[in-house]
Amino acid sequence: EQQLQREHHQHQQEQFKRERDEIMSYAKDDKQSSAEPSSHAPQRTSEDPMPSTSDFVKKLYKMLEDPSFQSVVCWGPQGDCFVVKDMNEFTKSILPRMFKHSNFASFVRQLNKYDFHKVKNTDDNQFGEHSWTFRHPDFHADRRDALENIKRKVPAQRKNTSSAASGAPLHTNGSSTSQPYVNQSSTSTSLPYPISSTTNGHQPRSPSPTNARLTSEVQRLKDESEDLRARIRNLERNYESVLVEMVGFQRGMAQQDGLMQNLIAYFLGSESGE
């Protein structure tokens, strides 16, 4: 009995370590899948049929192509969407195997980041009212070449509201040392509209693509941080449960020891009486 309790306690500790490792693996996997294509992108090779596709989309497609998963997750009837038939089984058996975590909410958030949308169930849904259907215009069973078009959503850049953005460039009167003016024609006639000295006669710059990427990266890190905090809280609760079980095991072992001592004393007393 004590051996069984020790084995159970060891199993609980191993489970705690696995869940801790899942957090780190999930964060690393999400970081890799969010990498944008650049000039240093890997070259196409015969080993990887989808080299320019993100890791997340690759895993999603490979998961749906695996016949062993068909009873839990599969392509839709037309091949233009995919269906999670059994959310509980999907979370328990497929997510840890394909995406290194077991959080269905995190999986849905990741789909949303890649612009997948949940399809509302209809009355004639052949997969049941508890199924989950997701669709993306470039995600089809027979269009593997279109997968590289599926990218993480990036916040739209702020548009420049200055009228100079769509008009002619501003010119300054370089022959004068006084405050520059807008020259509206090639003639000597000009309107004395002074330009703000903070711009030095140049039109405002619009946000660069680098700033947009940084903003997207900061938002992604915030989302990851929220996910990690939630998973850490879950691990803390599991750890507390393990501690409570350990205390219960210790009490049970103490009670069993007392019972064994009483039984031994009883049998010894019976033998001495005979």
Q: Does the pLDDT of residue 71 top 70, yes or no?
A: yes
254 is in which domain, residue-wise?
Answer: 1-34+209-269
**Would you state the pLDDT for residue 128?**
80
- Give, in order, the Cα–Cα distances in Å from 22 to each of 101, 217, 232: 6, 22, 11
Question: Which of 139-143, 184-188, 220-224 is modeled with the greatest confidence?
Answer: 139-143
What is the pTM (predicted TM-score) of this model?
Answer: 0.43
Q: Are residues 133 and 80 in the same domain?
A: yes
What is the distance between the terminal CA atoms of the chain, rounded to a whole angstrom? Answer: 31
Only one residue has tokens 């997969």, namely: 127
Greater confidence (220 vs 43) lies with: 220
Structurally, how many domains does the chain consist of?
A: 2
Identify the domain boundary among 111, 129, 151: 151
Whether 89 shows a pLDDT value over 60: the answer reads yes
**Residues 70 and 141 grouped into a single domain:** yes
Asked if residue 171 belongs to a domain, the reply is no
- Residue 181 covered by a domain: no
| The 132-135 sheet, strands edge to edge | 73-75, 82-84, 132-135, 117-119
Quick check: 261 and 267 in contact, CB under 8 A?
A: no
Q: List the structure tokens of 174.
A: 């370089």
What is the rounded CA–CA span in Å between residue 193 and residue 36? Answer: 44
The predicted pLDDT at position 92 comes to: 92
For residue 67, what is the domain's CATH number?
1.10.10.10
- Which among 151, 175, 190 is the end of a domain? 151
| Same domain? 81 vs 7 | no
Residue 192 lies in a domain: no
